[in-house]
């Protein structure tokens, strides 16, 4: 939709002042989507996702409608079947797409909700091209990377960028890798066709500190920009990652050897919280440079809520320590959204949340008492048999010692198995995922369910693994007079990603044993939330869905906020007990 916006007052910085003078500070009509292409060089894991989300947040604060798109150069159709050790967490959107974890950053930084069209892979591109070839869409032509693959990439980008003022397109991988070349060629063509004031290139690079020499080295940055220029792309802005602020003389040198204007060489140093990055980039006028390049006239950026957020993070009134008992503990990115959701809940309780990872494979009856020192216990999602018995033991310890417990997805299932074994008398109870021949399959494969769009999905144990889970946002009623009702109200709507579910045929036995089924779908009778009565345990909840995907620093999430409050209450009670003793 066409949008009228007015410019901010001109700033005295020369290049920005010239920009405002040249456009006469008048109203303009944004009639088409503008693009910002974000690439990375030297090494991976520099923070392209955070940089892209931060730029989007600043532009959004200026009144622009912004979206972000992530292009992943691997051949997998999506990350759904990839190990968390390979790729980190899989972020799930409302419409059921299994996507890159960067989409989680996008949703936490801006108001736009991500969809299936906001992330695509080389696998999806080639799949689409080959399907078109089989249908005869290319009318007998020889199908080639250029133009057919590059054109398909451009169509996918346009599909994800519909109805916005600015689309920030993050290209995964590192410039120089063969995998990302078709994407880079596609965006080069796209920028050429769009025109000079409708596309900008931001390149994230690395400036290492060499301790032996006692100086920062700019040569890797010079080389990665040289590689970009060989492809035919001249960056408009360089975001220079380093462990410290880059001195002015080094910025001068980078500008000279990369042909990027000095104002476009921006230092991006390490910070103690990612929520400081928007302010850091704004103070170096990144958003002004982008608006100048794209000829966007907007109101001034307003980052006051970011400043308040950073202040809250830096000045907690208390601290709680939570044990996260999982099996992907060697890579924190495996639980990225979960970590952030806990931090958001801490912010809303004026507390710092310290997370300690406990490898569930190492937990036994002999050492499970190590969990006694924690203020709360969390068992996250996961797949496969490894470490499951340790998770069941964790749920039992939390229940018996009245430590606040939150089980997410598999964490709910192991809590259900624990209650079945030790309270319902179902010896050997298990999930068919871990023991197909279990005598008491209290957790079993979902073979049929209704998607959010009303379609009926059916699966068997022999179905493909990719894209065949219960995925996306779905709703269910919440039972009154339950802890879940206190947290959610009458209806819960959350995102799912799982194949196994509590077995309907055992629900009555579990209820008789004291487990409360506080949310269940009406059609399929799929269990969404379980809990223990607060007369038995102060806070014991398991959820089949993934609430962490909907948590933001601004609103937090009611489930996590309640959980961290319970951890604080448990901590105070333990301290009071020590004083009394």
- Cβ pair 89, 101 in contact under 8 A: yes
What Rg, from alpha-carbon coordinates, does the chain have? Answer: 26
Annotation marks residue 319 as catalytic: no
Taking the CB of residue 360, how many other CB atoms lie within 10 A of it? Answer: 25
Residue with tokens 């409050």: 565
The secondary structure of 264-300 as a DSSP string is GEEEEE--SSGGGHHHHHHHTTHHHHHHHHHT---PP
One of 20, 240, 548, 570 is an active-site residue; which one? 548
- Give the whole-angstrom CA distance, residue 158 versus residue 167: 9
- Give the whole-angstrom CA distance, residue 266 versus residue 236: 11
25: left (phi over 0), alpha (psi -120 to 50) or beta: left
Copy the structure tokens of residue 555. 């609103």
- Give the whole-angstrom CA distance, residue 118 versus residue 570: 41
Residue 384: CA count within 13 A, CB half-sphere: 11
Chain Cα centroid distance, residue 150 = 27
Q: How long, in residues, is the chain?
A: 581
| SS3 call for 362 | helix
What's the CA angle centered on 97, arms 92 and 102, to 5 degrees? 55
Which residues are paired to 322 by β-bridges?
A: 355, 376
Residue with tokens 């970590």: 339
Q: List the alpha helices (DSSP H) in 385-457.
A: 388-400, 410-422
- Cβ pair 546, 496 in contact under 8 A: yes
Task: Of 276, 281, 336, give the one whose Cα is nearest residue 103.
Answer: 336
Phi, psi for 399 (deg, rounded to 5)? -65, -50
- Cβ pair 345, 560 in contact under 8 A: yes
Q: Which residues touch 419 (CB under 8 Å, ≥6 apart)?
A: 399, 510, 513, 514, 515
Q: Which residues touch 105 (CB under 8 Å, ≥6 apart)?
A: 49, 50, 52, 53, 274
- Cβ pair 103, 118 in contact under 8 A: yes
| SS3 call for 188 | helix
Task: Of 417, 391, 372, give the one whose Cα is nearest residue 329.
Answer: 391
One of 325, 348, 409, 440 is an active-site residue; which one? 409
Annotation marks residue 546 as catalytic: yes
| SS3 call for 174 | coil
One of 105, 282, 440, 546 is an active-site residue; which one? 546
Annotation marks residue 365 as catalytic: no
Residues with a known catalytic role = 409, 546, 548
């Amino acid at each position: 939709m066409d949008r009228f916006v007015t410019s901010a007052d001109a700033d005295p910085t020369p290049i920005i002042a010239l920009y405002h003078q040249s456009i006469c500070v008048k109203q303009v009509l944004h009639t088409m989507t503008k693009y910002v292409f974000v690439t990375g060089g030297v090494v991976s894991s520099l923070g392209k996702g955070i940089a892209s989300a931060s730029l989007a947040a600043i532009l959004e604060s200026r009144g622009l409608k912004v979206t972000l798109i992530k292009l992943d150069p691997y051949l997998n159709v999506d990350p759904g079947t990839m190990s968390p050790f390979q790729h980190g967490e899989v972020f799930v959107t409302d419409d059921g797409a299994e996507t890159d974890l960067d989409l989680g950053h996008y949703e936490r930084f801006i108001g736009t909700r991500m969809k299936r069209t906001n992330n695509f892979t080389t696998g999806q591109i080639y799949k689409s091209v080959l399907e078109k070839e089989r249908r005869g869409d290319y009318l007998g032509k020889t199908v080639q990377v250029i133009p057919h693959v590059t054109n398909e990439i451009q169509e996918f980008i346009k599909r994800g960028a519909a109805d916005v003022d600015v689309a920030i397109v993050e290209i995964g991988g590192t410039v120089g890798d063969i995998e990302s070349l078709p994407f880079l060629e596609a965006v080069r063509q796209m920028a050429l066709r769009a025109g000079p004031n409708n596309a900008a290139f931001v390149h994230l690079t690395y400036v290492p500190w060499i301790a032996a020499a006692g100086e920062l080295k700019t040569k890797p940055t010079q080389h990665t920009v040289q590689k970009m220029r060989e492809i035919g792309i001249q960056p408009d802005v360089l975001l220079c990652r380093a462990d410290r602020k880059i001195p002015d003389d080094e910025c001068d040198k980078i500008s000279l050897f990369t042909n990027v204007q000095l104002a476009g060489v921006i230092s991006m140093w390490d910070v103690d919280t990612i929520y400081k990055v928007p302010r850091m980039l704004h103070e170096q006028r990144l958003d002004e440079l982008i608006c100048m390049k794209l000829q966007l006239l907007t109101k001034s950026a307003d980052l006051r809520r970011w400043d308040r957020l950073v202040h809250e993070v830096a000045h907690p009134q208390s601290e709680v320590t939570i044990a996260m008992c999982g099996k992907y503990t060697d890579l924190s990115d495996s639980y990225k959204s979960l970590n952030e959701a806990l931090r958001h809940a801490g912010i809303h309780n004026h507390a710092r949340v310290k997370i300690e990872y406990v490898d569930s494979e190492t937990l036994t009856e002999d050492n499970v008492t190590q969990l006694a020192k924690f203020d709360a216990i969390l068992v996250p999602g996961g797949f496969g048999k490894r470490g499951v018995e340790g998770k069941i033991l964790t749920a039992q310890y939390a229940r018996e010692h009245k430590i606040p417990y939150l089980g997410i997805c598999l964490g709910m299932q192991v809590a259900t198995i624990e209650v079945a074994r030790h309270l319902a008398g179902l010896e050997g109870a298990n999930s068919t995922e871990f023991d197909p021949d279990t005598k008491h399959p209290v957790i079993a494969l979902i073979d049929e369910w209704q998607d959010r769009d009303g379609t009926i999905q059916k699966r068997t144990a022999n179905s493909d693994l990719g894209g065949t889970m219960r995925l996306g946002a779905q709703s269910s009623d919440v039972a009154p007079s339950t802890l879940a009702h206190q947290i959610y109200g009458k209806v819960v709507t959350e995102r799912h990603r799982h194949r196994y579910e509590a077995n309907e045929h055992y629900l009555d036995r579990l209820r008789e044993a004291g487990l409360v089924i506080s949310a269940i779908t009406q059609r399929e009778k799929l269990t969404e939330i379980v809990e223990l009565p607060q007369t038995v345990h102060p806070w014991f909840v398991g959820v089949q869905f993934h609430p962490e995907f909907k948590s933001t620093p601004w609103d937090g999430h009611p489930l996590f906020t309640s959980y961290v409050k319970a951890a604080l209450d448990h901590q105070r009670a333990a301290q009071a007990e020590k004083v009394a003793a």
